[in-house]
Chain A
Amino acid sequence: MKKYALLPFNFTRLSGKEVLINELGDMLISPIGTVQKIVDHTLDDEDLYKTLVANSFISEELLPTLLDIYASRLRLKKSFLDDRAALHIFVLTLRCNQNCVYCQASSREEGSAHCSMTFDMMEASVKLMFRSTSQHLTMEFQGGEPSLEPKLIKFGIEKAEEINQTECRNLSYVLCTNCRSLSDELLELCRQYHVLISTSLDGPSYIHNKNRGREDSYEKTMAGICKAREVLGNDAVSALMTTSELALGYPKEIVDEYVQDGFTDIFLRALNPYGLATENENWDLYNERFVEFYKTALDYIIEINKQGTFFREVYAAIILRKMLTPYTTGFVDLQSPAGTVNSVLIYNYDGYVYASDESRMLAENGDHTFRLGRISDKYEEIVYGEKVRKIGKVWANEALAGCSDCPVKAYCGADPVRHHSTQGDMYGFRPSSFVCKKNKAIIEHLISLIIEREDEVMPIFRSWLR
């Protein structure tokens, strides 16, 4: 073995192995004691030595000739930053036609007034959206229930298309809806502009209805999904679920429901501590149970794939993309620097711009910490203003206590909004952070799967990431 210098890396121990992770998030699984041997220069396994050099854990040169390539790969990992915000969420209204037990949006009755966006606000918001330099812009319509404001949706899309005549970006549209009131006109609009439908399906009817506060919710949602698929095609409709306390007991049933309904993806999401969901007091217990639920569901999903049906878990796929590929990811909640402002901006019915989806939920409870400015303010004042600069000090996990030394930091992210909301401090206190516990548990579980069942799970994971 030749002389070598160390390159930056961290390590952890899982499933009886030492897991080495370098600055890019490239992972190397090795026998226990490897790190000590590397540091002591007592490596005795030639093959392991070669792998360490090849994957930039150690270098035979003091200043590696290929450092430029390493830097280039690091840039690629963070390239989600290149284009500023690509996801723009338009919260059209708080009005809703359901009554979900865990509503994050603090939705109001269908008939109530004074909680919808005006046309002027929509126009100003669309103009702000185009101030982002991103080549890809996604307009996502949320609420309450946005399909209760079809005229506003039409106006917003048409305004965006008009401005895009000169801007020439790649525009895409998403409508987040419960599918209860998708009129023919609205679906025709969606068809015309290739609007994707994102709906909520919590599982079989007994779970979905209990969560949604209406007995006919499942029926109506399925009918809406069918109708949307007919007009827009199967690929245009996707679903995600929120794991209520009731759902925690039914991982396989929920996955089965998705498979039966013809979905190829499921996003196993934990409850957020916002809006009506804060009434759930015992977060510790919920968190523990959620991680068990997740592992059981994921195992079941792997079995389904082994039997020949392609079915992907979205959260795992995001983490695996960071772990196993050289590419960046666009998922707002698992980024460093954080997705807030850097990847997403919210234009709210109340006439203000917010740093993230969860920021406007805080505002419903009177907390305006992440309200960045009025929709009528100048773009620079909003995005480079004092509030953003404050968040900017704590939005990179490379520079946060607890995170900077964490071996799996590259697969995780910073979440100043969530930490402010749950701990009263944007910086966050990692030892008692639920987001940290949950993310770490899931990330470590995925690594353990790769260690213990490599031949079984790697082909499946690759198929999820192609």
Chain B
Amino acid sequence: MKEQFEIESNSNILFVTDQCNNHCVMCCQPPKQKDDFDYYFKKNVALIKSAPKETKVVCITGGEPTLAGDKIIELVRIVREELPDTDIQILSNGRSFRDYDFAHQLKDVGGEKIFVGVPLHSDYVGDHDKIAGSKGAFNETMLGLYNLADEGIATELRVVINKINYQRLPQMAEYIFKNLYFVSWVALMGMEDTGYATKNTNHIWVEPKDYTSQLCKAVDILDGWGIPVAIFNIPLCLLSPEYHHFAAQSISDWKTKYLEICNDCLLKEKCCGLFATSQKTYLGLKPFTQNV
């Protein structure tokens, strides 16, 4: 974790807690039960106060940061006070926002430049709850998203692709357009093979090369409906060239890695590379030796 925020960085993290009320099967940062709200709150306030005023964006994350309740509201209030022009991104499973008052309080303190990134695992409640490791997760997340939309807080969806959900990616895309039409954008993400993901690998691992057809169909649907969509964590060599412009440099600098064969690749600079933290390496990688 950083000691000092940087103006241009997209990794200015305010880590709120290790606790979480979901237990996602592919969680790369397994939750811990310790009551750590106060400990992190103090650290975060110091980080905020020492941050340059021109800081572009801060990211509030965890575990599940909204479990901090009043403390998260207070944290956002302090960020807004100290850094009036900074975007606040909150990564949350959205469940706490089923409480309308909580969403309202967040809007009150956060103002305009705030957005919430929420993972969605499936269009089918049973699969989402299975992946989230918690019964009732889907319903609360959906209600939370609607409350956030009602309050005018921008939301983005993150779909981590795994063996349980990859076949329904196109159906998910249509579901998102019909039922979550208000989201600002959607990220379809390759899985980081660490933490619970490694532990559960037998029933959740699927090779990206085996799901790119469903992935691209989902991208076509969302893009066709005008919903901004991005592909995260999938190297360019696994994607057909007409989908390259959807791929983002999504892996944080400090955990990106390339293979030796990547040194020959013409698209290395544009490619997100691989997770240095992942146990497995994707199958089917090869460098682009000719221009596409």
Within 8 A of B (CB), among A60-98: 60, 65-66, 68-69, 72-73
B175 contacts A55, CB within 8 Å?
yes
A-B contact pairs, 15 of them (CB 8 A): A50-B123, A50-B124, A50-B171, A51-B124, A53-B126, A60-B125, A65-B143, A72-B146, A73-B178, A73-B179, A325-B181, A327-B181, A459-B224, A465-B225, A466-B224
Contact across chains for B143 and A326 when beta carbons are under 8 A apart: no
Distance between Cα atoms of A2 and B126 in the complex (Å) = 10
* Complexed CA–CA distance, A66 and B137 (Å): 12
Given A50-B127, A55-B175, A458-B224, 7 more pairs with CB closer than 8 A: A54-B125, A60-B126, A66-B139, A69-B143, A72-B146, A462-B225, A463-B224
Q: How far is the CB of B73 from chain A (nearest CB, A)?
A: 24
Cα–Cα, bound, A125→B263 (Å) = 74
B139 touches A54 (CB 8 A): no
- Give Cα distance in the complex from A466 to B171, angstroms: 19
Residue A26 at the B interface, CB < 8 A?
A: yes
Is the pair B179, A326 in contact by a Cβ cutoff of 8 Å? yes
Which residue of B122, B125, B179 contacts A69 across the interface (Cβ within 8 Å)?
A: B179
Which residues of chain B from 173 to 202 have a CB within 8 Å of any chain A CB? 175, 177-179, 181
Name the prevailing secondary structure of the B interface residues.
Answer: helix
Q: Chain A residue with minimal CB distance to B167?
A: A47
A69 contacts B142, C-beta separation under 8 Å: yes
Q: How far is the CB of A2 from chain B (nearest CB, A)?
A: 7
A54 with B181, Cβ < 8 A, contacts A60-B125, A66-B142 known: no
Considering the chains assembled together, what is the distance between the CA atoms of A50 and B127 in angstroms? 9
**Cα distance A6–B179 when bound, in Å?**
19
State whether A466 touches B225 (Cβ < 8 A): yes
Option from B146, B168, B225, B226 in Cβ contact (under 8 Å) with A50: B168
Q: In the bound complex, do residue A326 and residue B225 qualify as a contact, i.e. CB atoms below 8 Å apart?
A: no
Q: For window 18-44 of chain B, which residues contact chain A by CB distance below 8 Å?
A: none
Residues in A with CB closer than 8 Å to B146 are 68-69, 72
Q: How far is the CA of A455 from the CA of B3 in the complex (A)?
A: 52
Among A17-76, those with CB < 8 Å from B are 26, 47, 50-51, 53-55, 60, 65-66, 68-69, 72-73
**CB proximity to A under 8 Å, residues B133-179:** 139, 142-143, 146, 167-168, 171, 175, 177-179
Chain B residues, CB < 8 A from A466: 224-226
A68 to B167, CA, bound (A): 28
Contact of A65 among B139, B167, B178, B181 (CB under 8 A): B139
Say if the beta carbon of B220 comes within 8 Å of chain A.
Answer: yes
How distant is A464 from chain B, measured CB to nearest CB, in Å? 11
A2-B178 Cα distance, complex, nearest whole Å: 25
A159 to chain B, nearest CB (A): 35
In B103-132, the 8 Å CB interface with A consists of 122-127
Indicate if the CB atoms of B181 and A326 lie closer than 8 Å. yes
Chain A 379-405 interface residues, beta-carbon cutoff 8 Å to B: none
- What is the number of residues of chain A that contact chain B, defined by CB distance less than 8 Å? 24
Number of B interface residues, CB 8 Å?
22
Q: In the complex, A465→B181 CA distance in Å? A: 13
Whether A50 and B126, one on each chain, are in contact in the complex, defined by CB atoms closer than 8 angstroms, is yes
Q: Smallest distance from the beta carbon of B159 to chain A beta carbons, Å?
A: 14
Indicate if the CB atoms of B142 and A462 lie closer than 8 Å.
Answer: no
Q: Bound complex: CA of A50 vs CA of B124, how far in Å?
A: 6
Query: Residues of B contacting A2 with CB < 8 Å?
Result: 126
B43 to chain A, nearest CB (A): 37
Prevailing SS type, chain A contact patch? helix
| Contact, CB under 8 Å: A54 / B123 | yes
Q: In whole angstroms, what is the CA distance A226 to B200 when docked?
A: 67
Structural contact, B178 and A26, CB atoms closer than 8 A: yes
A459 contacts B125, C-beta separation under 8 Å: no
A66 to B181, CA, bound (A): 16
Residue of B nearest to A53 (CB): B124
Which residue on A lies nearest to B98, using beta carbons? A65
Question: Which residue of chain A is the closest to B223 with respect to CB atoms?
Answer: A462
A65 to B98, CA, bound (A): 11
Interface-centre pick from A26, A50, A72, A327 (highest chain B CB count, 10 A): A50
With the chains together, A465 CA to B226 CA distance in Å?
9
Return A317 CB to nearest CB of chain B, in Å: 14
- Minimum CB–CB distance for B253 against chain A, Å: 35
Assess the B220–A459 pair: CB atoms within 8 A: yes
Least Cβ–Cβ distance between B9 and chain A, in angstroms: 34
In the complex, chain B residues 205-248 whose Cβ is within 8 Å of any chain A Cβ: 220, 224-226
Residues of B within 8 A of A65 (CB): 139, 143
Shortest beta-carbon distance from B56 to chain A in Å? 30
Q: How far is the CA of A278 from the CA of B149 in the complex (A)?
A: 51
User: A459 to chain B: which residues have CB within 8 Å?
Assistant: 220, 224
The residues of A that contact B175 with a CB separation of less than 8 Å are: 54-55
> Once the chains are docked, how many angstroms separate the CA of A302 from the CA of B146?
36
Residues of B within 8 A of A72 (CB): 146
A-side contacts of B168, CB under 8 Å: 47, 50
- A228 vs B167: C-alpha distance in the bound complex, in angstroms? 52
CA distance A181 to B105 in the complex (A): 59
Measured CA separation A87–B222 after assembly (Å): 32
Collect the chain A residues with CB atoms within 8 Å of residue B179's CB. Answer: 69, 73, 326
Contact code string B264-291 (vs A, CB < 8 Å = 1, else 0):
0000000000000000000000000000
A89–B178 Cα distance when bound, in Å, is 33
* Bound CA span A72–B167, Å: 29
| Residue pair B142, A54 in contact (C-beta under 8 Å) | no
Contacts of A463 in B (CB 8 A): 224
| List of B residues within 8 angstroms of A325 by Cβ | 177-178, 181, 225
- A446-461 contact mask (Cβ, 8 Å, vs B): 1 or 0: 0000000000001100
Residue in B closest to A52 when the chains form the complex, CB atoms: B124
Docked CA distance A53–B179 (Å): 13
Contact with A along B241-260 (1 / 0, CB 8 A): 00000000000000000000
Cβ–Cβ contact A54 & B124, under 8 A:
yes
Name the one of B123, B143, B171, B224 contacting A462, with C-beta atoms under 8 angstroms: B224
